[in-house]
Amino acid sequence: MSESTATSRTVLLRGGEVHSPADPFATAMVVERGQVAWVGSEGAADAFADGVDEVLDLEGALVTPAFTDAHVHTTATGLALTGLDLSAARTLTEAMALVREFAAARPADRVLLGHGWDASRWPERRHPWRDELDEATGGRPLYLSRIDVHSAVVTTALLDMAPGVRRAAGFEDGEPLTRDAHHAVRAAAFAAVTPEQRTEAQRAALKHAASLGIGSVHECAGPEISSEDDFTGLLRLAAEEAGPRVVGYWAEHGDEGVAKARALGAVGAAGDLFVDGALGSHTACLHQPYTDAQHTGTAYLDAAAVAAHVVACTEAGLQAGFHAIGDAAVTSVVDGVRAAAEKVGLARVRAARHRVEHAEMLTPETIVAFAELGLTASVQPAFDALWGGEDGMYVERLGAERARTLNPFAALLRAGVPLAFGSDSPVTPLDPWGTVRAAAFHRTPEHRVSVRAAFTAHTRGGWRAVGRDDAGLLVPGAPADYAVWRTDELIVQAPDDRVARWSTDPRSGTPGLPDLTPGARLPVCLRTVVGGRTVFVRPDE
């Protein structure tokens, strides 16, 4: 069946639960020409049954808007799915055994690619040494990125493929590579990936996303992350094949970056335009030194550079955006955007919906500034689930007092800051319901938000982040991007028990969502539909 035929069919879904603000008690929905045409009750659905092309019996399943993952590196995600994944390695010894097995199983690969090691979680408390990796691979080129993708360990053979890397900033013999040295070896490693391997990785990542009920991803690309061919190839693949929508961002600075983003088909010169690095790699830029290192990290852009970029993007009608994790980096972004607003006007800056990726270390002052300047916080709740808590990496890097301030989702919502949730995959896996759970059960209780608010940030929030306020929810006229789920009883969960009790009252008309209490079973995706076109159906089990 052709795409045009698939999207022109009229489909009635009935006999389930439809999560819609148009009717909190809806059990049925009609989709026509790629849009939601009607949402309502089972009794009213009878009037549509004879006039549609297909009737889908939901058999009690839940229908929700499809998720949007607002921060993804698609090719790297696909390579992690098809390559060496060290994220589950519990010890350095186990990680090295996996490296040996992978190298033995891939004798024809020009470069071995792996990802996900995190020495802060291993009892040995150290990264793999180069001579160990040389021995494990038989002297072949190997690139192993740390879980935050801001540093890597490599073999000698890969260093030899990046001329001058030993003189680059971020090279310290015996330590993981950061900064320019990391960018150089990553470019050398990815250059060895063939176009066919790259396309297969992209296809694998998008297929996996669809299987999780994800209908859209925001690709955060740029010259320090991937390549122009990688970016345009992904956009072309998404346009030609059934799968999630791909919204592309190209992170290159200034007037040249704006021109390049427009030429490549990006919606903004945004995404991972680095103002700093990452906490795990000691490269996030802080006001005060790290607890476990006598420095304050790395600053890549200052407030003046941020301001120049925001002005260029605003005047070109494109979104600007920045990767900023440490509190000093976030301050540079706020100061820069405010300076830009003074030059081009606050209303124009707010209307552009510029973005800040990650924004982990916020203060009350920078939260207020986000709201004032209309900045969207593109955040990853799984970071707290992975690195938060009393014995997590945040405490190790920052100490308990600073660590408790990280990822303040509730304060952002109270201030009116738009939230868009994502994974930063492959840093953390594509896992939309797990992401919603991580926000609702934040390791720091005062930062928790309701399941409903978290779900909105992971569905409608991503659409709003690209300027579409009419999508990400199931109401007549909205794009028919939805997922069908097998799940247990629907409930209302909120940090404030009084809110939960009120919302559960039928008179409130609040639609329920799955129970996301830690330990409870997460919903299973049965079907994903994008623009009225089915892009995933779970095989019969």
Which helix H or strand E contains 358, and what residues bound it? Answer: strand 355-358
| Dist. CA 152–CA 531, nearest whole Å | 39
> 62's torsion region: left (phi>0), alpha (psi -120 to 50) or beta?
beta
Residue spans per domain, the chain: 3-66+473-487+523-537, 72-191, 195-465
End-to-end CA distance of the chain: 25
Q: Which of 3.10.310.70, 3.40.50.300, 3.60.21.10, 1.10.10.10 would CATH assign to domain 72-191?
A: 3.10.310.70
Q: Look at the block and give the residue holding tokens 């992975």.
A: 386
Give 479's DSSP letter: B
Question: Measured on CA atoms in the order 307, 313, 319, 321, is the torsion positive or negative?
Answer: negative
Helix%, strand%, coil% for the chain, nearest 5? 40, 20, 40
Rounded to whole angstroms, the Cα distance separating 334 from 370 reads 7
The CA distance from 216 to 244, in Å, is 5
DSSP H helix total and E strand total for the chain = 22, 23
pLDDT in tens, the chain (541 residues): 344 446 678 999 999 999 999 999 999 999 999 999 999 999 899 999 999 999 999 999 999 999 999 999 999 899 888 889 898 899 999 999 999 999 999 898 889 998 889 998 899 999 999 999 999 999 999 999 988 888 899 999 999 999 999 999 999 999 999 988 998 998 898 888 888 889 999 999 999 999 999 999 999 999 988 899 999 999 999 999 999 999 999 999 989 999 999 999 999 999 999 999 999 999 999 999 999 999 999 999 999 999 999 999 999 999 999 999 999 999 999 999 999 999 999 999 999 999 999 999 999 999 999 999 999 999 999 999 999 999 999 999 999 999 999 999 999 999 999 999 999 999 999 999 999 999 999 999 999 999 999 999 999 999 999 999 999 999 999 999 999 999 999 998 887 655 544 444 554 567 899 999 999 999 999 999 999 999 999 997 5
Per the CATH hierarchy, to which homologous superfamily does domain 3-66+473-487+523-537 belong? Urease, subunit C, domain 1 (2.30.40.10)
Residues 251 and 421: their CA atoms lie apart, in Å, by: 19
Distance CA 139, CA 103 (A): 10
pLDDT the model gives residue 2:
41
Q: What angle do CA 279, 285, 286 make, to 5 degrees?
A: 95
Radius of gyration of the chain measured on its C-alpha atoms: 23
The conformation of residue 17, written as its DSSP 8-state character, comes to E
Closest CA to 443 of 409, 412, 415: 409
Q: Tokens 């010890």 appear where?
A: 91
Our CA dihedral for 332, 376, 213, 149, rounded to 10 degrees, sits at 0
- Is the CATH number of domain 195-465 3.60.70.12? no
CA distance 175 to 103: 22
Nearest to 361 by CA among 275, 425, 301: 275
The answer to whether 296 and 332 are in contact (CB under 8 A) is no
pLDDT of residue 367: 98
In the chain, the amino acid numbered 58 is L
The whole model's pTM is what? Answer: 0.89
d(CA 116, CA 102): 14
Cα(386)–Cα(381) distance, integer angstroms? 9
Let me know: does 297 contact 282? Beta carbons within 8 Å. yes
Q: Do 67 and 214 contact (CB within 8 A), yes or no?
A: yes
What distance in Å separates the CA atoms of residue 499 and residue 11, rounded to the nearest whole number? Answer: 36
